[in-house]
Structures are given as structure tokens and as C-alpha cells.
Structure 1
């Protein structure tokens, strides 16, 4: 059956970066786990959000985290210098929960805070 990881979280970016995010997601499309990505039907105000939620096999973690690493490297698109940022919780059936932060142009991985344990009940 395999080991699964519950991945859920979001990215924040601007409109120009959203186009790049969509290109990266599309370039990794697998017609299965890639269906976990979504965006609001209509964006509200200036921040663009992209969400992911799916239970994926442990063997697909590299597929997913590589997308996050590519997305994190998207450059700022205006003089504000804002990079794509986001937060994901990954609940691993065996190894427990991890927090994935997309910030400062990279993906930072650390153990999830114990207060999020209820999500992996």
C-alpha cells in the first residue's frame, strides 16, 4: 500500500509571480497529484494565493518539494522586492509532521510544532 504524507498549505505572490508559479506547476503536471493545486475562482485585492491539499505517496515527496524549490526561486517582479512565500504542513504517516516554509528564495524544512499534531489525528 505504501506510506502517505498529507500535504496542505499555500503560497502568496503577486500577479506576475502567479504566472510563473502556474508555469512551474504545469511543467510538473502528472495528471494525479498535480490536481491538488488550486487557486481561488477570483483573486481578491493584490496578494495572489495558490493552495495545495492532497495525500501523496512518500515516493512523490521529491516531485512536490522540487516544485516548491523552483517556485521559491521565482524572482521579485517589482521594486518592492517581495519574493514568493508560503507555508505547508506535511503529515508523514511514519516520520511525523514537518513544516515547509517557502521564504527568502528557498524551501526551509523543520519539524512541525506540536500544537499542529491535532491535524494528523
Structure 2
């Protein structure tokens, strides 16, 4: 644990994200992160159908469980602005004594400038 407090680096996510339902606007409680697989899902609806995703709320809980002295989260995903509150004050596991920072590449309802490998 002391090693993590001294040596943990930023957490960087570069993946697809979006609301779990394509019929709703993104908000902190319904955004999913699409996990990379051998088939690399192209969009959130395909990943949701296959089960290759994680709720952003669950990921934020995992980040808050890391025993680091400070946390920097970089979200290079679509809809990143919708989930950024999950990593700071809206998370029930937030430790107000620990410095945290969230950097996003898009706002709620925006696509990230993302180019997949070819």
C-alpha cells in the first residue's frame, strides 16, 4: 500500500463510452465504458448486447478504492463530461482528504476525438 501511495501514476481511459440505452441522454448513473475485446466493439450498443462493458459508476468505485495519495483520472471517451462527477464529489466513497483531478476529452452529449487502430 505504501508503494501505491508513492508511485501510482494517472489513470488513463481511452475507450468507447455512452449511455446504456440509446434512447436516453448520458448522465452519471447510466453511462457504460466499453471494454476492449478481440473484436473491438465499434459502439456502446454492440458492447452492451454482448456484455463487454462496465458501468461508469462501478469503475469510479474501483478508482476510489485504490489506496493512492492522490488520483488523476483522464477520460478520453465519448460522454466523459457526464461521468466526471462520479470521480469527485458525487461518489459515495469519495475521501475528501485525498486530492483528486479529472480531465475529460468531451462533455456530456459529445463525442471524443477518437481514432481506432487500423
TM-score (norm 2): 0.32
The structure richer in helix per residue is 1
